[in-house]
Amino acid sequence: MYPHMKALLKTTLALVLVSCSANSVLAVYIPEPATVIYGRAFQVLGNHEFLLTQGDIVWKIRNLSQGGREYTLRAKLQPLGNGHFSYRLTVPHPVLAYDLAVADKAIPLTATGINLQHVAIKIEGRPVTLVAPAVDTFTARQANRANTYRIDLQVAETATDTDGDGRPDWWEDQNGYDKWDPSDAPANPGGNNNNPAVAPSARTFAEWRTMLFPNNSTDLESFAGEDPDQDGVCNFLEYAFLLNPLARDGDTVGALPSAYVSSGHAGVEFTKRSVATDLLYQVEVSENLLEWRDGTSEVEEVPPSGSASRSVFLSRSEMTASESQYFRLRVSRK
């Protein structure tokens, strides 16, 4: 065998997992990158959301393309993305093709696509609902392998609050407070770990204000320009970048736009309120900081290499050593 043929054979075999069952029937599996589902799991009490960061998720997915077979997946709740998210579910995939086998617990991946449905999701045995705009179906296919989907989950039942202080009993137990004493919990419901003051499920600026400033009657345009925590970030941008308008977090959270460079491509990254229905994020491009143009045709959104909470927009073309390229982000209401 020629040396280059040996190298090719080694490369090919590195992609194939071979297993042999008790009756010596050979099964060949080729794994594909997993689909990742991530998001927030929370419970509501009053006007506040309390992020769940402990416990187990049991997630059932139904294969609508192949006879309705169901798969049960599991994930642990934990703080993720600087406290913005609380779970990450991995959906394993092998290739389904001629002469290839599929493991019992893996969801097959084909060229034409497999239609899948979220049929039952429970956190510690309690049913949850999907928060809009998430939908209960998705398609897994080889052309969009390694896709990620954000799905926020709300525990269906209302939290129990024995002492009536606006904090769930489980949260007080978890954070060392007395669920029988209404005077011992911190002033901010939810606390720093759950950060409900960012109101992550708010889909409009008006809804966000109602959740965080229920007694504010200022006209919405004037309210948008106010900066109650005096951190240099107005209310509208606190809303757009998932910041807390009641704490000076604008310069510490890392949610504001910043430069991003990857493999010769330059761009911008920031934390986006992905559930918002009234926001328009527009990347603009310039070579001299004087003339700016819409960068829609020049940049593309790419998966972030770090935290899943960040959005990254990179230039489609590589920069040369002699080029200067600048980016800015314009956020407006639709």
pLDDT given at position 123: 94
- For the chain, which residues make up each domain, given as ranges? 32-155, 258-333
pLDDT given at position 292: 92
pLDDT given at position 264: 84
Q: Does domain 32-155 have CATH number 2.60.40?
A: yes
Residues in the chain: 334
Query: Is this prediction's pTM over 0.75?
Result: no
pLDDT given at position 117: 93
CA distances from residue 289 to 280, 292, 326 in whole angstroms, order as listed: 22, 7, 7
* Rounded Cα distance, 216 and 66, in Å: 53
Mean pLDDT by groups of 10 residues along the chain of 334 residues: 41 38 43 84 81 92 88 89 81 61 66 90 93 87 82 87 84 79 60 54 88 86 90 90 77 71 86 88 91 92 65 86 85 91
Q: Taken in order 119, 121, 126, 128, is the CA torsion positive or negative? A: negative
pLDDT in tens, 40-51: 898 888 767 788
Which residues are within 8 A (CB) of 205 and not within 5 positions of it... i.e. 6 or more apart?
220, 224, 236, 239, 278, 333
Which residues are within 8 A (CB) of 144 and not within 5 positions of it... i.e. 6 or more apart?
none
